[in-house]
Amino acid sequence: MNLEYLKLKNFRGYTQETIIPFSNLTAFIGKNDAGKSTILEALEIFFNNTNVSCEKDDLSIDAVGNNIEISCVFRDLPEEIIIDAAAPTSLAGEHLLNMDGRLEIKKIFSATAAKPKDKIYIVCNHPSAANGGDLLDLKRAELRIRADEMGIAQGDYNRNVNSSIRRAIWDALGNLELTTTELLIDKEDSKKIYETLKGYLPVYALFQSDRQSKDEDKEVSDPMKIAVQQALQELEAELGHIKMQVRNKAIETANRTLAKLKEMAPELAKQLIPEFKTDPKFDSQFKLTIKSENDIPINKRGSGVRRLILLNFFRAEAEKRRLSNVNNRIIYAFEEPETSQHPDHQEMLIKAFIELSNAPNTQIILTTHTPVLAGLLPLPSLRFVNTENGTREIESGNDEVFEKISKTLGLLPDPISKSVKALLLVEGKGDVTFVNHTAQMLKDAGYLTHTFEEKHIAVIPIGGCGNLKHWKTLKLAEQFNIPWCILLDSVYVFKLN
C-alpha cells in the first residue's frame, strides 16, 4: 500500500481539515513555522506514536471540541486479506473502501488526557440498511442467528466462515443503502481485519533535524532499527509459520489440560476456553548498532558524521532496491537533509532519494529551506505550505506555486529596486565588480554610452553556475516581469519577455 493523502484536523496549526497529497517523492517548502515538520510528525504519530507521540498540547488552539484527527488514505491495496485461514476475503467485499475506492484509516485522539490514546476508524462506503450495518461487530454465533432469522438457506453459505455469512446476508438484503461511515475498529472481525491490514501498512521512518545527545540518538539508532524492521518484514512468511506453530502447540497443551480437568470437574471445564492472547514482538528482541573506532559512541561524534551515516544508509538502500525485488513497504521522511552536510553530500543524498523514490514500495518525504536541493528535485514533487490567509494550505503544480516557492527560498542576496528595467545574472560577487568596472571603462573610452547602472540594469550574483538551473526550473526571473540574461563563462544567454 502507498500513502496517497494525509488529512489533518485540530492538530497544531492545522485547525480546519487539510488534505495533503503525496507522490513517490514529495518535498515540502515553506517559511519557518509554516507547518512542514508538523506533517512529518503527524505521520510518525499515525504509524508509530513513539519518537513523536500525541500529547494534549497538540490540540489546535482554535479547535472546536477536543478531538485531534489524523487520517491516512492508501492506494495500491491488497487484492485479498486473510481473517479466516480457510476463506480469504477482500476490502471491497467487506465494504471497507471509501467513495474513491481507497482505504481510509482515521485515528482520533481525545485531548482530555496528557497522553491521549487513539480510537481507530475505517472511513468507508458501508451498508446502512437494517440488519446489514453491524455485521463486522457480530460474533459467529450472532451472525448465524441473523442469517437464520432472515430465512437464508444454510446450504447457500459456509456457516463456519464469518465472511461467507456476511456475504449471504448482504446478498439477501439487496439494497444495502451504502453510505459514508466511520467504522470503529474495536470488536470481532473489524478488529481482526485491522490487525491484518497493519501487516500491509508501510514502515514509516522519520529522521529529524533536531539532534539529541544521548546514546540512543535517533540519527544513529533509527537506520539500524529500520534495517531490523525490514529484515523482519522480508521474513514475514517464515515468522508467521513460526507463530502459528507456537500457537498450535500451546493451545494443544491447554486442550490436554482441559481434557484432564474435565475428568475431575466437568462443569468447570465447560466454562474454560483456551485463547492465545498476544503474538511475540520480534522487533523488540533484536538490537543493531554501529560502533565508532575505539568504542567511541557515534552520538559523541560531530553531527556531520552522524548525517554521513544516514547519507550512506540511503545510498545503500537505493542500490539494494534497484538491484533486487524488495517487497517490504517503507516511507522515508527526512527533515532538512541539508543540515550539517557539505553541498556535494547534499547532492548525493538527493540523488539517492530520487533513485529510491523510483523503486517499488518506496516513498520519500522531505522538507527543505535550501534552493540548491529544491532545484535538484522534480517540479511535480514540490509542495508549498502556504500560511498567507491565517490557515495552512498545501499547494502544488502550477506556475503561481513555483513563484511562491522561489520567493520563500530567498535566492536573491539584495532587494531588486522597482526602477530596474532588466536583469543580468552572473555567477558571483566578483563577477559583479568585474562587469560594472568593465562597463565603466568601456564608457570612459567611448565604446559605450551608458553603464548598466545608468540603464537601470541590475547585475545579480546567483551563487555559482550550479544555481543557474534553479532560475530556470523554479522560474525565478519571470516573477519580476522584466527582460533578463545570464553571463556565464563569457557566453551570453538571453531570455526576453
DSSP state of 420: -
- pLDDT band at residue 497 under the 50/70/90 scheme: very low
The Cα–Cα gap between 148 and 386 comes to: 57
Q: Phi/psi at 138 (nearest 5 deg)?
A: -95, 145
| 3-state SS class at 19 | strand
Q: Name residue 66's amino acid.
A: N
What pLDDT was estimated at residue 304? 61
* Contact (Cβ atoms closer than 8 angstroms) between residue 28 and residue 367: yes
Q: Strand, coil or helix: what is 54?
A: coil
* pLDDT band at 399; cut points 50, 70, 90: confident
CA distance 90 to 93: 5
CA separation for the pair 401, 474 (Å, rounded): 9
pLDDT score, position 371:
67
Interval 144-189: pLDDT, tens = 999 999 999 999 999 999 999 999 999 999 999 999 999 999 887 8
Instruction: Assess whether pLDDT exceeds 50 at residue 220.
Output: no
CATH topology of domain 302-400: Rossmann fold (3.40.50)
Amino acid present at 121? Y
Tell me the C-alpha distance between 406 and 384, whole Å.
10
Question: For 13-100, where are the alpha helices, taking DSSP H only?
Answer: 36-47
Which range, of 61-70, 72-81, 281-290, 377-386, averages the lowest pLDDT?
A: 281-290
- Per-residue pLDDT at 325 exceeds 70: no
Whether the per-residue pLDDT at 412 is higher than 60: the answer is no
Query: Is 60 exceeded by the pLDDT of residue 213?
Result: no
- The DSSP call for residue 178 is E
User: Is the CB of residue 136 less than 8 Å from the CB of residue 118?
Assistant: no
Mean pLDDT of the chain: 82
Of 21-25, 31-35, 211-215, minimum mean pLDDT range: 211-215
**pLDDT band at residue 216 using 50, 70 and 90 as cut-offs:** very low
Segment (H or E) for 310:
helix 303-323
Q: How far is residue 83 from each of residues 195, 273, 319, measured CA to CA in Å? A: 9, 20, 36
Q: Where are the domains of the chain?
A: 2-214, 302-400, 411-495
